[in-house]
Amino acid sequence: MKNIKAIIFDAYGTLFDVNSAAEKCKDKIGNKWENFANYWRTTQLEYTWLRSLMNRHKDFWQVTEDSLDKSMKAFSIDPSMRNELLNLYKVLSPFKEVPEVLKTLKEKKFKLAILSNGTPTLLNELVKSNNLNNLFDDLFSIEQVGIYKPDSKVYDMPIKKYHIEKNEVAFLSANTWDVSGGGNYGFNSIWVNRNNNIFDNLDYKPNLQIKNLKDLLPKLDLK
């Protein structure tokens, strides 16, 4: 993969483990913690898409709260755990290889950025709590354009900021719909398939599929 000038990452599920909030509470939640975490995540994403279609925007933190409330009811989670789960969501853990890979890419002088549904406040807290804030040039939030991924206006943001061509961007996401959104926009879209999932049928095939971020390094023109 040559002529890449910027490497853009999705945040939730790609750099940061969205299940880590519930996992840290598994002693209280019990064996259903993983199913609960997956349900919360699925509901959260569904709400972003539905609100975009209905033109009824709420920011990602409000959507996260709304989807948690539904999920807690669905799994009969003690309501007293709500604040604990929300606070843990603000400081989700990165996947273990993330800091090392980001440092390597930074040393190679790539532009590094996050492009996320998250609010600016959420993204800043997320990277700072994990000591990653000095590794990113930008944290692009959909709040700048007022609509969620995979709307093309979201993917426009780094292109307009960096004044580069779409094919000079490597875009990484663990979410197949996001990989397709970025790829259809014109990015070199890379699927981070951590869990051996099946790619969605959205008339797009990723430029590259990797198991984790370490697999990206040999594919880049690192000098």
Cα–Cα distance list, 199 to 23, 101, 121, 175, 178 (Å) = 26, 24, 31, 9, 11
Look up residue 24 and give its DSSP letter: T
Q: Active-site residue among 10, 17, 59, 178? A: 10
**Tokens 């750099």 -> residue:** 15
DSSP state of 195: T
Length of the chain: 223
* Active-site residue flag, 10: yes
The secondary structure of residue 5, as a DSSP letter, is -
Distance (Å, whole) CA 46 – CA 49: 5
Which token pair is 125? 């807290």
45 Cβ neighbours under 8 A, 6+ residues apart: 175
Instruction: Compute CA 160 distance to the chain's CA centroid, rounded to the nearest angstrom.
Output: 20
What phi and psi values does residue 68 have, to the nearest 5 degrees?
Answer: -65, -45
Return the H-helix or E-strand segment holding 190.
strand 188-192
- The alpha carbon of 219 is separated from its chain's Cα centroid by a whole number of angstroms, namely 21
Question: What single-letter DSSP state applies at residue 94?
Answer: B
Q: Which residue type is seen at 70?
A: K
Q: Annotated active-site positions, please?
A: 10
